[in-house]
Amino acid sequence: MNYSKKTVYDADVKGKKVLLRCDFNVPQDKKTGEITSDKRIVAALPTIRYLLDQGAAVIACSHLGKPAATFESYVKKQVEKGKNEADITREDWEKSLRKLTLAPVAAHLSELLGQEVIFASDTIGEDAKAKAAALQPGQIMLLENLRFAKGETKNDPAFAKALADMAEIYVSDAFGTVHRAHASTAGVAAYLPAYSGMLVAKELEIMGKALDNPVRPFVAVLGGAKVSDKINVINNLLEKADTIIIGGGMAYTFKAAQGYKIGKSLLEADRIDYAKDMIAKAEEKGVKFLLPVDNICAAEFAAEAEPVLVEGDISDDLMGMDIGPKTRELFAEAVRGAGTIVWNGPMGVFEFPAFAEGTKAMARALAESGAVTIVGGGDSASAVEKLGFADKITHISTGGGASLEFLEGKELPGVACLLDK
């Protein structure tokens, strides 16, 4: 995939209306609706400020949560959760939508920018169209939650065109959504010249270089629960990396493939042959393939479970919960001399303090490595931030699913649609 895309700096935005796709999918307090972290809003500020300073009129848009776009789809969701269809009302559906309005985001963005963010009560309806038509250079508005419209996730051309008709230029700055072919992430580019915002440009530059032209040795650290989630990542990285480190729940399927007993640890029995193939392929290609040599185990999956150090086979009454001290040192040694390190997925059940040491050791090793360090979104990003190493990492990706698909070498629809440099 071509990662060299035109950015906002290549666009003449003065006096133009710019449709800006942001990622304002912020966490909120379930009871009060209050925004509990504004990181994603803050991340969009450099691109927004640049566009406004250049004399653009900015029409920002985003999704928030997973609302049911129609009453029928809401009923279906509720029935799947075990509710009686006869008890579900339109009022319930409308209430669920109100909880996912972007109005609080518009208010918070106004405070951060120090100027009014005009809020449209719909996406392509009369209110949005009228406010977009009246928008002046240097002003910004925010459309209501894109997913309130059923055409958004279906990449409906009519919905994409209606969004595009409000503007003259499209800018994508929501990296967390570029792996989805939605109307606002890919569809609008069929009708408008499409550029990347600063956030997306940074992701493409850093992650693209890491995969296509890394400073070597290139070490990939993969963790998380399931091998099946990382199959395509491992396949792709075996062609690019010098060393692959496997930790987390997925490591136990590889250990089983090597003939070890893994007790009650997480196992994907249908992936054992795949694990054997990957170990053999790594050897054939001269790629170091490192697996845990000791584990911190427990009799049950619980925060208060007693940690037990195990080397070799794990007994039937125990399950692996984290990598052990020898493995931590083995993995840390492997990243010490690295030129580029990409990390995706925790080394253990890091949300339980007793089983967070492996993930903590990996984060520390990356922070002290002196290498170009890239942490994929999702759990590994949360771990690095939670453990206090975020400021020592070169780049923490803003996209969980997007960064994973990036590492898989997949073409991302929201990137492919942007103008090539």
Question: What pLDDT does 241 receive?
Answer: 94
Q: Residue 314 corresponds to which tokens in the numbers above? A: 């794990």
More confident residue, 226 or 125: 125
Q: What is the mean pLDDT of residues 137-143?
A: 98
Burial class of residue 365 in the structure, from the number of CB atoms within 10 Å of its CB (0-12 exposed, 13-18 middle, 19+ buried): buried
Rounded to the nearest 10 degrees, the angle between the axes of helix 103-113 and helix 39-53 is 60
Question: What pLDDT does 196 receive?
Answer: 98
pLDDT tens for each residue of 341-395: 999 999 999 889 999 999 999 999 999 999 999 998 677 888 788 888 889 999 9
Question: What pLDDT does 213 receive?
Answer: 87
pLDDT tens for each residue of 302-344: 999 999 999 999 999 999 999 999 999 999 999 998 999 999 9
Q: What is the DSSP string of 307-354?
A: PEEEESSBPTT-EEEEE-HHHHHHHHHHHHT-SEEEEES-SS-TTSGG
Question: What pLDDT does 377 receive?
Answer: 63
Burial 142-164 (b: 16+ CB within 10 A, else e): bbbbbbbbebbbebbeebbbbbb
Residue 234 has pLDDT above 70, yes or no: yes
CATH number of this structure's domain 214-407: 3.40.50.1260
pLDDT tens for each residue of 254-295: 999 999 999 999 999 999 999 999 999 999 999 999 999 999
Question: What pLDDT does 386 receive?
Answer: 81
Q: What is the mean pLDDT of residues 143-172?
A: 97
Q: What are the residue boundaries of the structural domains of the chain, listed by start?
A: 8-65+100-202, 214-407
Q: What is the mean pLDDT of residues 187-198?
A: 98
More confident residue, 156 or 380: 156
Q: What percent of the chain has pLDDT over 70?
A: 100
In this structure, of 11-20, 70-79, 184-193, the range with the lowest mean pLDDT score is: 70-79
Burial 1-10 (b: 16+ CB within 10 A, else e): eebebbbbee
**Mean residue pLDDT across the chain:** 94
Residue 146 has pLDDT above 70, yes or no: yes
Domains 8-65+100-202 and 214-407 belong to one CATH topology: yes
Q: What is the layout of strands, in order, in the sheet containing 17-21?
A: 117-119, 140-142, 57-61, 17-21, 169-172, 194-196
Q: Which residues are catalytic?
A: 40, 226, 378, 401
Q: What is the mean pLDDT of residues 157-165?
A: 98
Q: Residue 11 corresponds to which tokens in the numbers above? A: 């666009």
Comparing CA positions, the residue from 408, 396, 419, 405 lying closest to residue 199 is 396
Residue 169 has pLDDT above 80, yes or no: yes
Q: What is the mean pLDDT of residues 390-418?
A: 87
More confident residue, 63 or 227: 63
Comparing CA positions, the residue from 65, 60, 87, 57 lying closest to residue 75 is 87
Q: What is the mean pLDDT of residues 97-114?
A: 96
Work out whether the CA dihedral 164, 170, 171, 172 comes out positive or negative. positive
Question: What pLDDT does 31 receive?
Answer: 85
- Main-chain dihedrals φ then ψ at residue 66, nearest 5 degrees: -125, 70
Per-residue pLDDT band at 8 (split at 50, 70, 90): very high
Q: Which CATH class is domain 8-65+100-202?
A: alpha beta
